[in-house]
Amino acid sequence: GIYLGAGEGGVDSDNFFEAIVKAWDDNAARMDWSAWAKVAFSKMTGMCELEQEPNMPASHIAVLTGARGQTRSCLTACAASTQAIGEAAMMIRSGRADVMITGGAHSMIHPLGVSGFSRLTALSTRNDSPETASRPFSASRDGFVLGEGAAIVILESLDSAKKRGVEILAELTGFGSSSDAFRVTDMHEEARGAVQAINSALADAGIGCEKIDYISTHGTSTTENDSIETKAIKTVFGEHAKTTPLSSPKSMFGHLIGATGCAELITCILAIRDNILPPTMNLNDPDPQLDLDYVPNKPRKANVDTVMSESFGFGGQNNVLIIKRYEEN
């Protein structure tokens, strides 16, 4: 089957806004919808609608691969691909699928996406230095850098992987999910949803927090997220928080919104494979209130066997995955 995290598709912004401009009647201070329709029909095709449907990435993959099992799309904003992977694992556990193509794809780099996040004051304003603008856990952080892309993993049962004779890169052992049930733009100030999701993932994996060798944080480089996420980790990990390294992959490739969770999970898989902790880049002025080990500015060699990956989305959706090094019994 297929289960992808996704969001609204790209908009043909140039033609869409041209139609609006040409149809605006200054004298009447209103839209002339007949004029709008004339311009829109001459400039835009029926594909404009299909390109915006969030289920299209999964549908295209089904056509390309011939996958005829369940095809689903998860629309939980920044947590979408993490939730898709977790729920795909649940489908495999329940026997409803043997193999799932899962991950996410999203593009918000268009006028509506950029202006929307700007109005939310979620984006960094360091336009003159984009390579240093994403600086999670830094005292001077002021928002995330918008990225775009796709990331896909093949998730399957152990029997299926052995039958296909493929290299097993990691084992997914835990999934936790929760809702803040708070404000759609803000995490709960006591991190209750994040704490719940982390605890659920640990319980699902059947381990304590002391077994986690590395945490891939949501780490958006916004003032609120980085503070509350640090609070969540301290709440769950207690004394182990100080000795558990964590970092933000978004400091390197930006925020891919619906695709970001899977991209970060792949980073975690590579961390296990290579025994290397990914860094938090641009962490040159640490926030004195954030006092954990954020692996600043350069990768670090370490023994990495079990990893936690966190994703927290607009709307209060929280999803956490735990993976570990695969070992033959």
Contacts of 54 (CB under 8 A, 6+ apart): 6, 7, 8, 9, 73, 75
Is 218 part of the annotated catalytic residue set?
yes
Residue tagged active-site, from 188, 218, 262, 268: 218
From 106, 110, 188, 255, the catalytic residue: 255
Query: CA quadruple 137, 143, 149, 155: dihedral positive or negative?
Result: positive
Does residue 240 have an active-site annotation? Answer: no
Q: What is the largest CA-CA distance in the chain?
A: 77
**Which entry of 78, 209, 262, 268 is annotated as an active-site residue?**
78
**3-state secondary structure labels for all residues of the chain:** CEEEECCCCCCCHHHHHHHHHHHEECCCCEECHHHHHHHHHHHCCCHHHHHHCCCHHHHHHHHHHCCCCCEEEECCHHHHHHHHHHHHHHHHHCCCCCEEEEEEEECCCCHHHHHHHHHCCCECCCCCCHHHHCCCCECCCCCECECCEEEEEEEECHHHHHHHCCCCCCEEEEEEEEECCCECCECCCCCHHHHHHHHHHHHHHCCCHHHCCEEECCCCCCHHHHHHHHHHHHHHHHHHHHHCCEECCHHHHCECHHHHHHHHHHHHHHHHHHCEECCECCCCCECCCCCCCCCECCCEECCCCEEEEEEEECCCEEEEEEEECCCCC
Task: Indicate if 78 belongs to the active site.
Answer: yes
Q: Which residues are catalytic?
A: 78, 218, 255
